[in-house]
């Protein structure tokens, strides 16, 4: 089932912030906001929760650290022990630098991988929706025209108050 969407175009950061806040307090369901750059405060205005990606970063970092430390101890002390300069077989302090590097490598690649996965970004994918100039200089507010309580004229007024340039209606899944 495709829902009807209400799309409003703005030209500035203040406009989109104000309009988003107003739309949210008016009780509209905000599908998304499309902006040419990361507008600070917009996540709060939309009521988005902070991303959980830092946890992914932590988990991958710990995974990398444990795996690499284990691997170094296993290769140096168990699998094929070689006496090098009389140093202990499991020379933990000497294993720190490589463990650190692999921690960073795992954490970084894991975070970016998880980001691409949850954002459904992948090479060659066509953008699911396209709003004119949203990657250039337009800020686009997309509301769901949910139920009978959605008043088109009132919403247009609300957007106009915040310097809306023009509005349009679309069906979801039609881009």
**Looking at beta carbons only, is 25 or 135 nearer to another protein?**
135
Least distance to another protein, CB of residue 27, Å: 19
Footprint on residues 131-170 left by another protein (CB under 8 A): 131-138, 140, 152, 156, 160, 163-170
The closest of 167, 174, 168, 158 to 27, measured between CA atoms, is 158
Determine if 21 is a binding residue for another protein (CB under 8 A).
no
Cα(102)–Cα(153) distance, integer angstroms: 57
Picking from 7, 5, 1, the residue whose alpha carbon sits closest to that of residue 144 is 5
Assess 123 for contact with another protein (CB under 8 A).
Answer: yes
The CA distance from 94 to 107, in Å, is 21
Nearer to another protein, 27 or 128 (CB): 128
Using alpha carbons, select from 24, 21, 17, 7 the residue that is nearest to residue 156.
7
Sole window of 21-29, 71-79, 143-151 interacting with another protein (rule: CB under 8 A): 71-79
Stretch of 21-29, 113-121, 143-151 lying at the interface with another protein (CB under 8 A): 113-121
By CB under 8 A, is residue 66 in contact with another protein?
no
Site residues (CB under 8 A) for another protein, limited to 28-47: 32-40, 42-43, 46
170, 164, 175, 149: which is closest to 16 by C-alpha? 164
125 binds another protein (CB under 8 A): yes
Host H or E run for residue 78: none
Among 87, 151, 154, 173, binds another protein (CB under 8 A): 87
19 binds another protein (CB under 8 A): no
Q: How far apart are CA 63 and CA 69, in angstroms?
A: 10
């Amino acid at each position: 089932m495709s829902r009807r969407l209400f799309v409003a175009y703005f030209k500035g950061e203040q406009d989109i912030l104000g309009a988003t806040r107003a739309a949210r307090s008016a009780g509209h369901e905000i599908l998304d906001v499309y902006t040419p750059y990361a507008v600070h405060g917009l996540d709060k205005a939309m009521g988005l929760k902070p991303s959980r990606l830092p946890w992914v970063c932590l988990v991958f970092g710990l995974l990398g650290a444990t795996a690499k430390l284990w691997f170094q101890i296993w290769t140096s002390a168990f699998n094929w022990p070689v006496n090098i300069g009389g140093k202990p077989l499991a020379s933990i302090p000497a294993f720190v630098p490589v463990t650190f590097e692999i921690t960073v490598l795992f954490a970084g690649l894991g975070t970016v991988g998880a980001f691409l996965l949850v954002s459904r970004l992948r090479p060659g994918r066509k953008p699911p929706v396209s709003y004119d100039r949203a990657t250039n200089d337009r800020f686009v507010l997309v509301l769901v025209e949910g139920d009978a309580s959605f008043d088109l004229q009132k919403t247009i007024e609300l957007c106009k108050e915040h310097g809306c340039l023009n509005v349009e209606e679309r069906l979801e899944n039609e881009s």
